Each structure stands twice: as structure tokens, then as C-alpha cells.
Structure 1
């Protein structure tokens, strides 16, 4: 982990919208309207148990407006894919696929076209025409985002090795790695996020079905964050160690934000022909990091705070001030020792300690039950975004690998790197510049 996580990142230029659909009453999606109609048909089955609840859903034959959580939506189409700068949602699915034997470039293009059309409908709150699942009929888009990416092996399987970006070379090994190859890498990657668990699962299930015979599931990971509105005021999120996590994440308002996070326009002299199709895109590093919570929880509060470099209560740096006060890495305490210890996480992860290396972290927590020894199988689904992982994730992780006091309480168990191209216009699909260029 690095002290740059963002669970409350500022919105993108094409931010959330709650405009009503032209085909439904204000505040009501077509998906929700169909769900209400279905409920009327089945009313006789539940009248004894739920008549009161059913009556509360509509006044004068019109469904109640969706809540703010349900109505929040982000556009699928645009110069950049959603799911990068938008606030990390309460529920997430990260899933990787491998192309089936015999599925080449043409089949991959058809799959991305199907996936893109489905994601566009779901993110707008519409029901795809051939969707018979009925999982989220009465829900709005609930801040749904669907993001697509390509792994290193995708280019071999599609005969596009000459267009594979240099930045997509496999990540180096780190001493703390204990990686499971079955839960790492993959030809294709989908990140799904939503503030409603059923909306997120609906998207996952429908996209998996759309894969058909073209692609096979390689691995899936499920994550979560705090639900919007769970705190009295907007606040930086906490991880499963109880630490406020995300204070120093770069913000879209920062002057160098785009330079650190997004691949420059293809007209930039630094972008070679292999990278031109990635203009406006980003590179996602995905790591499953198990937290050794039983060991961590046995530490004193003072010890935990020294390892992180921040107070647990409010996230303020041990060098003084409030959560957002810049960290003073040179400050010395009354005892003559550094206020921020030499191996404190925020010192080792700081851009000042890594020659300015920066990345946008957008992670999710996970809990997959308990291990055989009774320890929780829980931690962080680390997702970070950068214009070049060799200038973002890799130098920071190398530094953490060598000198971070937090590292002995973490186990890196899965890893992947994906090229996430820019967005697409209406009528196009994600990756079209690569597959048809």
C-alpha cells in the first residue's frame, strides 16, 4: 500500500448525472419502471406479507423518485473510460478473462462491441434488450461504472504484438511477493463498481454471459468500501486496519494530474505508434494484498501510528497539524528522533522519497472468509492508475519492498497489469482503435 489512496477523488470532467430518462417519469429509470410493472403482476402473491411496502413505492400510479444513491450515473461514452477518476463505489467486482482457443482478433472485437453496448445501457440505467435476468429491475444506475482493459497476453492471442505498448511489459518481482498465478494476469480485465450490490452483481453476471464462447473466466475478486452517507460528513475512507487511507492521493485539480495518470495524446512526440491507440487511456496495476490483521491488531495504538506515520483517530501526520497538513519529513521531536520514523509508511511512499513518482490509487477492501488457522482472509484489492507503471507503481513499490515498516504486516498474493484504453464515442466500442486500427 502507498499513502496515496483515493476513495473520495474529485469527479471527472464528465461527472455524475441524475437527469431523468425521456422514456420514464422524472427520476425513474426504464429498468426501475419495468421492475414496478413486474411487481404489480405479482402483487397477489405478496399482498398478505408486503402490502404496506408495495403501497409506499408509488403515489398516484407513479413510482417514487430514486434516492440520490440510486439516481447517480456516469456517462459510458467519452474521451476517457469511467471508473478511474470517479469516487470509488461501495461495491466492486474485478474480473479477468482469457480468450478461448481459436478466438482471435475478430472474435475479440465482437466481444468488446457486445460488452461496450451492454455497459453503456447499464450505466445509463437502461435495461439491455436481451437482458432477462431481472436482478436489478427496480434500481437506478447507482453510480455504476464498467471499465475494460487488456493484459500482456491479449496481444499474443490476437496477433497484435506489434501494437503492444512498452509500458505493458510484465511487472518485476518483489521480495514480498507470494503470488498465485491462477489469480494473476489475464487477457481481458473488467472493473465494475456501484453503490448498490445488486446493480454491481447484475453487471457482472450479464457481462460474463455476454462473453459466451469467446472468453473464459480466469479469476474474480469482490471488494467494498464505506457506503456513501454512512458518515455525518464526507470523509476520507478507512482500510481494514482502521487507518484513514487516501489523504495524499493526487487530485484532478492538481497541475500534474493528467501527466501522472493518463497516456498523452497520440500526437505527443513521446508517444510511439504502438501507444497511439492508448491516447487518453491509463495503466492499471491490480494487486490482492492480504493484511495480517491478527498480528496488526495485537500492536499498541502508538506502535500502529508510528508504522503508518499518522494518527489513527483523524489521520493527522505525526509531524503535526490536521489530516490535510503537509507532512514534515524533517521534523524532529523533543527526544531528538524524527517525528515521522525512517521506515514509516507515509515517508517511504511519499513522492518526495521516490523522485516525484506518483499514481492514483482507487482500491477496495475485501474479506473472503477465514483461513484454516482462523485468521481473516481480508485486505486490500489495490488498484492504481498511471500513465506509465514503470514511472508510477514500480519505483514506489521497490522502495516499499525494501524499507516500509508496514510490509511485514502484508502479503501480496496476486498481481496483474492492464492497458486501459481511452473511452469511445456513441456507436463505437472500447478498444476499437486497437482492434480495427
Structure 2
């Protein structure tokens, strides 16, 4: 729950990705504009840029009432006859992220509305050969689905009629993967197990894993279709270890671009590092030298299921909530004054002589300048998994953060939070994982090929 968190859709956090030249494809910066990354919308009834609607183009989006399908004034629920030419209501479904590139998709791209995190363990008897075949299958599938195409075999039809919807699929390797594949000498030291923290109440059944997959999309059915396809294509090579579902605010849900709110109602994503910053790559991506060659241009993902104790939190008066975070709840501005993006004045004191931003405020403790420059690119999803028997909500944050080295990113910040973060009373870390996501696959390659065939 660091203050340097990712907005749900921010062009400042969306890194341009090369287009592969396919019709309708947008790289990340195009998808992310304007300021919060909400894709530009086509006016209702506007003609398709290509004059025809593909089999999986978006036909409509929820929440738009009274919008017509065409100039004839048909209502949104109208079912087109075969002879009619349908027009998509918005461009949301046509937005596409390229699979191939220097980095894997789903790291610097703007947050999607729906997400799934899933971990696998290699099956008994499966080794390097089986892992290579699996990553080859998964990569081919990711390329197809991210382009808005069907799965190569036994497609379920779940995503029929929808476009790519900004789908991203990202792959990573856990610490245990290397022993199972005989690649211990290739395991980077950055994958050493994370230390224990005082707020940890970790369930080992929902932690770690040999392989990890992150799926995100701006349409729930597109995201589920990818999840189901990835799971089926694991075949006999890997078995499911755990799976989690998340969500964010849908693009275009607000009247103007703005940073997201988490389930505590706080604006969450103000101080995330941005690709335009000169040290962004150094903080987020592994350099081409100084580490395992197969991890060049890759990144390390720390994954945490953080439960929010919402009943306790919601009993706090507004002012007390703001002092826990160090920011105003209404607009995310620091308690020291200004707007959301105003630099926090840690030296300012009130009439009582005490710091306006409390010493234990979450936003103070997580500032990079208070942690030796330690920073990470946070790209989380919220989650809600129902209620306990007493009505307590099982809800919170699927925390995902990316960094070049977790020992310089996540670990020092979390250690400092452990020692005095006021927010720690209202959260509980219930699952954890650390995964190495290699660099992006070039055309004709699969993710992890340099490791598995090197």
C-alpha cells in the first residue's frame, strides 16, 4: 500500500510499445492518453476506421444508457440482423497491446479494469524440456489472444464479439522453478526468498510457485477467456497452485482523467515512478549487463495479497484516516497543502508544533527520498472475495510491484513500513510471491527462450 502506487490508467505510467503494424493496433502511449490513460472514445455511431467490424470487435459497453447503435436511432439493446451494418459504441474493445517487444507487456502498460493472477507448479516428472514446450505454447497463445484472435485449438467462444480490449499476458519464474528444471546455476540472487515481515500472515498454499502468469484486460470476458485458455494449455506439464481475481476502475468511468481510488476510498497512485523520468529503466528493468543474460530487459515482480480490515478502517473519523495516510481523502493532496501532485512538505508544522504530516503517515514513510531512493513500479488490482461468516469483507489489494532488484526496491520500503507505519493496523499480508519476468520475446521467440534453450 505504498504511496508511490500506480494510477489505474496514467499516460505518465504507460510506456510506449512498438506497433507491429496490424490494423487497429495501438501502442501503450496511444492506449494510455490522455492524462490517466483512458482510451480515446469514438463518438456513438461513428464509422469504424476500417469500415467493417471484425468478428471480435466490441459491440457495446456497460453503463451507457440511451446510446444508439447507428443513425437510425436503434437502442443499445437492439440485436442487429445479418443484413445490418453494426457500429461499435466505443473504441474500448479495439485497443491492442503488442505481445513482442523489448519488455513483456503488462508492466508499464496502463492498468486494466479486470485482472487475474495465477501460479503453477511443474507436474511430477516435468523438467526443462516440458517447461520449454509449455512456454512456447503459452507465448503463441498470448500473441493470438492479445491480437483479438481466437485460441489455436478448442476455443471456448467466451470472448466472441469482443476485441483485444487491451489484453496483456505476462509470464514469470519463481525460485523453485530452477531446481525443478536443472537450471540452478541460472537462478539470479534477486530471487532469494523475501524476508519475513511483522504484518505477514502468509498462507503457503496461496504463495510462491514455479510459474506465474499475470492477465489483464478492459473487458471481464476477455480476461476470463485468457485465464481459461492459459489454464487449459498447461496440460500435463503444470498444475494449478493458486489463482486470484482483481479489478480496477473501468476506463472512462470518471468525468475527467484522474488517479484511482482503492477500497479504503483513498486516491492511490500519486507518486509512482514514470517512464519519462531519467532513472526509470534503472529502477524497473534489469540492465543488459551485470545480471543473468536471460534476464536482460526483464523485471522482478513482488506479488502480495493484502487484506484491508475495512470494518476497522471505516470506523475511523475522516481526519484520522487522513492522518494515517498523510493525504486528504477528497483529492489526494498532501496534508501539508497544495494539490495531489504537490511535493509533500515534511518539515511543516501546525499550531501545536507537531508535523502536519504525522511521522507515522504511510505517505511519509514510503517516499523514495525517505528510503535511500528505493522505488518500485506498483501495478495492483483491488479484490473482493466475499464475506466471512460474521460479515467481515474479504477484500483488499492484489499488490504487484515491478523493480530491477527487489532487495533495493520492495524489501527496504517494506522493512521501514514494518517499523512504524500507521496503516499497518488496518491491513494484513496473507499471501506472497516473488517472480522473475524475463525480457520481452522477439518475433519468432517465446518468453524465457534464452533461459530454457541457452
TM-score past 0.5 threshold? yes
The reply on whether 1:430 has 2:447 as its aligned counterpart is: yes
Kindly indicate whether the alpha-carbon contact (under 8 Å) linking 1:131 and 1:206 is maintained by their aligned counterparts in 2. no
d(CA) in 1 for partners of 2:350, 2:82: 64
Kindly indicate whether the alpha-carbon contact (under 8 Å) linking 1:20 and 1:27 is maintained by their aligned counterparts in 2. no
Kindly report which structure 2 residues correspond to 1:222-371, keeping only aligned pairs within 5 A, or say none.
222-265=245-288, 268=289, 270-271=290-291, 275-371=292-388
d(CA) in 2 for partners of 1:277, 1:28: 42
The reply on whether 1:20 has 2:44 as its aligned counterpart is: no
The reply on whether 1:130 has 2:153 as its aligned counterpart is: yes
The reply on whether 1:160 has 2:183 as its aligned counterpart is: yes
Kindly indicate whether the alpha-carbon contact (under 8 Å) linking 1:359 and 1:384 is maintained by their aligned counterparts in 2. yes
d(CA) in 2 for partners of 1:299, 1:165: 44
**DSSP 3-state at the match of 2:169:** strand
| Deviation, structure 1 residue 159 | 0.4
The reply on whether 1:4 has 2:4 as its aligned counterpart is: yes
Kindly indicate whether the alpha-carbon contact (under 8 Å) linking 2:306 and 2:431 is maintained by their aligned counterparts in 1. yes
RMSD of aligned alpha carbons? 2.2
TM-score normalized by structure 1?
0.91
Give unpaired runs (5+ residues) of structure 1.
37-50
> Which of the numbers 56, 71, 78 marks the counterpart of 1:32?
56
The reply on whether 1:401 has 2:418 as its aligned counterpart is: yes
Partner of 2:243: 220
| Deviation, structure 1 residue 89 | 0.5
Kindly indicate whether the alpha-carbon contact (under 8 Å) linking 2:326 and 2:364 is maintained by their aligned counterparts in 1. yes
Partner of 1:189: 212
| Deviation, structure 1 residue 332 | 1.1
Kindly indicate whether the alpha-carbon contact (under 8 Å) linking 1:144 and 1:199 is maintained by their aligned counterparts in 2. yes
Residues 59, 310 of structure 1: CA spacing in aligned structure 2 closer, same or farther, 3 A cutoff?
farther
d(CA) in 1 for partners of 2:236, 2:55: 27
Kindly indicate whether the alpha-carbon contact (under 8 Å) linking 1:16 and 1:72 is maintained by their aligned counterparts in 2. no
d(CA) in 2 for partners of 1:359, 1:75: 23
d(CA) in 2 for partners of 1:241, 1:27: 44
Bigger mean CA deviation after superposition, 349-358 or 186-195: 349-358
The reply on whether 1:103 has 2:133 as its aligned counterpart is: no
CA deviations over 1:263-309 (Å, ceiling 9, x no partner)? 001xx3x33xxx11000000000000000000000000000000000
**DSSP 3-state at the match of 1:202:** helix
Partner of 1:42: none
| Deviation, structure 1 residue 67 | 2.2
d(CA) in 2 for partners of 1:123, 1:58: 29
**DSSP 3-state at the match of 2:245:** strand
CA deviations over 1:160-179 (Å, ceiling 9, x no partner)? 00000110000000011000
> Which of the numbers 72, 87, 109 marks the counterpart of 2:95?
72
d(CA) in 1 for partners of 2:356, 2:174: 42
Kindly indicate whether the alpha-carbon contact (under 8 Å) linking 1:21 and 1:29 is maintained by their aligned counterparts in 2. no
d(CA) in 2 for partners of 1:132, 1:142: 18
CA deviations over 1:363-400 (Å, ceiling 9, x no partner)? 00000000122110000000000000000000000000
| Deviation, structure 1 residue 11 | 2.1
Partner of 1:387: 404
